[in-house]
Amino acid sequence: MLRPYRSCARCFGTTPQIPCRTGGRRSFSPRRSGRRSASRAGRRGFPARALDGSSPPRVARVAIAAALPCLLLATEQRVATGAWLEPTQLAYYAVADGPPGCFRYGFGPSIGCLFEHGDFVRAHLAHGYGVLAALGTTLRRLKMHLSDAGNLELFFAALVYSMAAALRGGRGRLAAMGVLGIVLVYVPFYFDGNFPGGGARFYADALPLEHVLLAWGLHRLQLARVALPAALAGFSLHTAYDHRRLADREGGRPLFEESALLAAGVHRGLVFVDTDHGFNLGHDPGARSASTSVVVARRRGDAHDAILWDQLGRPHAFVYEVSTTSQRAAPRVLSLTLGLARTVRLEAEAEWPPLSVEGGFVEPVFPACASGHRALALRPPSAAGRMRLEVAAPSPGRYRITTTWVTPASGWVGAQVTLAGKVWSIVPPAHSTGCFAVEGPSVDLPRAAGYLDISSSSEAILDYVELSAEP
């Protein structure tokens, strides 16, 4: 027959050192441990075996489990970028924006990407990202964050009180330190990340901690009974309009909806979309055959579209159109006719971001004389810069190359072009002020695509490349 304290031992998985109630009687363990630490652990309800090394502590098991997602993320980054600690986002900005190192964590004169965040950099980082710029960015984030936790700015005062009381009294100190830590950890990042209706999205990770602190603080202030009505009123009369602005952005509906294809009777074929958002929503990496499934591709408006259509076996082609200005306008799925001529034109901006950049950076520009008013600019530093683009040919063969360039406002020094082992120099006509074409050599492209390398010690702006098939 088990004694009462042994029945308790089965509940706790060890011989207890605390009183427990079984069978209506209060019993105590008569055993005495010679080890004070084990007795203390028992009084706290911890298993004694966690202290004698017979099994790993619970904290260690939790740490190992928490490390697994980090290891999987690091492995994914290693496969995508070739480095364990280089995120894919940094690899993207290294070829898509500039100046070099503009998108990073820290302070300095070269921080701030001029293409994607150009307006922000010109407005707030004219002298680089220093202490004053960091203070301004943090204050703008906090201003946008005032109503994030409770739908009303007045709750922010209660949150400040709760955090101060938690830091002073000890209870809830970790939650308060967590909120402050999230604010501080973003100080060395230059872009505030705010947008209409989105609040301070970089501080979104602090919201669960803020909700706990708010509930605790409002209870201490004896204001808990008015918290819910105030939050609901704040949403109805105030922040609901911000949410509506967010919902109405870019036409107020997703930029790709599969239901629109089904309504148009499109179950297979090649579907072109005009936006990166639409491509991210619609593209299925596993859909490789347009004869059995729908292949969603990014529309370029040049020979890239026809070459892809030809490589997929010339399936039925469609264009998915959705308005980003008319509110909630229904998307249209229209039939698209494509064809290939002997001379194909490849717009340079369609190759942004380039395959690689060495020295300087590359960005799309919008000169008036360029085809479609768009081109691709290589902006090297004082030394020479180089960018590599892909040149897609309709099929292997021999082609005459023509490149068209834009004379930059800063003047022209010249560039060197390499394709399929042929090297030639770009020399603009005398007194050139607009766009000009340069006839290049004939090259053999044994594959359907080649690498076009452009090197220059000054700004070089490429409009497009033409391939003319030779017999």
pLDDT (average), residues 120-146? 94
Cβ neighbours, 10 Å, residue 278? 23
Residue 250 maps to a domain: no
How many domains does the chain divide into? Answer: 5
DSSP single-letter state for residue 396 = S
- One domain for residues 234 and 334: no
The predicted-structure confidence for 349-406, as pLDDT tens digits, reads as follows 999 999 999 999 999 999 999 999 999 999 998 778 999 999 999 999 999 999 999 9
Query: Is this prediction's pTM over 0.85?
Result: no
Asked whether residue 1 carries a pLDDT value surpassing 60, the answer given is no
Asked whether residue 427 carries a pLDDT value surpassing 80, the answer given is yes
Q: How far is residue 99's CA from residue 362's CA, in Å, rounded to a whole number?
A: 9
| Residue 397, beta-bridge partner list | 445
- The pLDDT value given to residue 54: 46
- One domain for residues 207 and 229: yes
- One domain for residues 150 and 202: yes
Going by pLDDT thresholds of 50, 70 and 90, the confidence category of residue 433 is confident
| Contact (Cβ atoms closer than 8 angstroms) between residue 388 and residue 452 | yes
- One domain for residues 366 and 465: yes
- One domain for residues 457 and 395: yes
| 452: nearest Cα among 427, 426, 423, 412 | 423
pLDDT (average), residues 201-217? 93
More confident residue, 409 or 27: 409
Residue 284 maps to a domain: yes
Residue 205 maps to a domain: yes
- One domain for residues 224 and 268: no
Structure-token match 């055993």, residue found: 31
- The pLDDT value given to residue 24: 42
- The pLDDT value given to residue 32: 42
- The pLDDT value given to residue 55: 54
Asked whether residue 26 carries a pLDDT value surpassing 70, the answer given is no
Q: Which domain holds residue 278?
A: 258-340
Q: Write down the mean pLDDT value for the chain.
A: 86
Task: Give the chain's length.
Answer: 471
| Contact (Cβ atoms closer than 8 angstroms) between residue 437 and residue 468 | no
Q: How far is residue 432's CA from residue 45's CA, in Å, rounded to a whole number?
A: 85
- One domain for residues 376 and 449: yes
Residue 94 maps to a domain: no
Asked whether residue 453 carries a pLDDT value surpassing 80, the answer given is yes
- One domain for residues 200 and 308: no
Q: Report the percent of the chain where pLDDT is more than 70.
A: 87
Residue 214 maps to a domain: yes
Q: How far is residue 257's CA from residue 280's CA, in Å, rounded to a whole number?
A: 11
Going by pLDDT thresholds of 50, 70 and 90, the confidence category of residue 63 is confident
Going by pLDDT thresholds of 50, 70 and 90, the confidence category of residue 56 is low
CA atoms within 13 A on the CB side of 134: 16
The predicted-structure confidence for 160-203, as pLDDT tens digits, reads as follows 999 999 999 877 899 999 999 999 999 999 999 887 666 678 99
- The pLDDT value given to residue 339: 95
User: Which segment of 125-134, 190-199, 298-307, 455-464 scores lowest on mean pLDDT?
Assistant: 190-199
Residue 453 maps to a domain: yes
Which one of 340, 359, 376 terminates a domain?
Answer: 340
- One domain for residues 293 and 228: no
- The pLDDT value given to residue 181: 96
Asked whether residue 21 carries a pLDDT value surpassing 50, the answer given is no
Residue 115 maps to a domain: no
- The pLDDT value given to residue 43: 43
Q: How far is residue 461's CA from residue 456's CA, in Å, rounded to a whole number?
A: 10
Q: Report the percent of the chain where pLDDT is more than 90.
A: 66
| DSSP run (H or E) holding 344 | strand 343-347
Asked whether residue 52 carries a pLDDT value surpassing 70, the answer given is no
| DSSP run (H or E) holding 183 | helix 173-185
